[in-house]
Structure 1
């Protein structure tokens, strides 16, 4: 799964002022990421506000990104949830032929035991015709997929090929890297730990900020994979404020504020999320200003 090495980006779903899907903005955002040099695109992840999209809107988003991408970059599709049967049914009924892998978040709200998490992903592995990226994000799901569970899944199912690790714990990330099968990939799911994860032996990142500043983020990860540490950290520290700012009022309000500044889409989000405040937008504008010439 070399397609997953480097910088993937979890694309937003742009909305018009009336909160309908803005297909023109979605095309602009997709082109922005491709032109910026990212390595693959993640469609309908949690950053896409997928839980607030209807089935028809999800199909629309997939179609627009596929058409815009036109085979240029690998595609990963988010297929996850806290109802195992529903996830399995979607995997069995949706046409996955255009995708290189699926990204599936650990069940949220239910807070299953580690055995429950294992059984959930076992069912998904048995149902999926595509390679699977596990997604661990305890801050959103309410439960942590422990390294032992990740490693158990990685060793028992050939089509579980990677984990997107957003626990924020480098100790946890390094434990997985130390004990994983040789061909299993560890991807950072947290922009702040992206470079440290790569330098510890990970394979890359699925980023949020990377879709706003694709040139900088993709270059940073490439340098990290090449072990050019000082150059990579120079970029990391130049964009670190942005990594923190975009999550200050929740995701994807912050990254959508960046796209508004770049004139690629509105900053609109759907309830129960709310748009970034004027105060946060001012701080994000000050952060983005030095990069505007790159994306003019």
Structure 2
């Protein structure tokens, strides 16, 4: 039987979405019949389905299909891509964008970053090999989470952008489930604790055991004191300034549980020009070469 699905993988700082579409097959033999209806049991599914990716303007409905990475649709391992836009005018619609996926290869002193990057100017994927890893040996990085666009860079960590600043949040995995939120200082050198609160007295008792520990969902992009958490198959809104839970809503009405990872939710801010703006395609612009990882993601004209 066909196994189809589509998800939002990332959002740019100005409202463009990065989607992927999965086309696979599952084994589901018929176990019984009820008149003209048939009951099937899912026995297994293809672990390497075809993946097609799109850039989407959700207000206009425009979709731009990205070419296949390395010429193949068998790229299900490339899950955590980011999209970064660049504009010629301050606060204006994007004139170009890049989609990037970063991995760390090698061991010990031989570790290096490998990045695959799509540029709207060229309409093609390229591969940057041998970017040196800046991390010490004791800080090996596992890139297994969503990517956030902020300040002309892509961050590979569970960050959020709210009120124009980069934020970081974490929640402990044992009672009393301490929720902490930090903001990056203006000079970008250190983090300042803004909020810290205990969640256990505020959450329903039945959702505090086993796998139903609270997980970071998203930081509200317009209000830094507001946090969305996932709790099993529920989502909750927390006002960290008032140390108060505002709402608890069901995410999955099908009876299953929602995977405990943050990528189930994606914040997206919609600027006023998004409804009339088209996704940049083509229009390659020549420019100077840059040496830093931040600059080579998107080369300005």
Mark yes or no: TM-score above 0.5.
no
Greater RCO between the two (CA within 8 Å, min separation 6)?
1
TM class by shorter chain equals under 0.3
Normalising by the residue count of structure 2, what TM-score does the alignment of the two structures yield?
Answer: 0.27
Larger Rg: 2
Normalising by the residue count of structure 1, what TM-score does the alignment of the two structures yield?
Answer: 0.28
Name the one with the larger helix percent.
Answer: 1
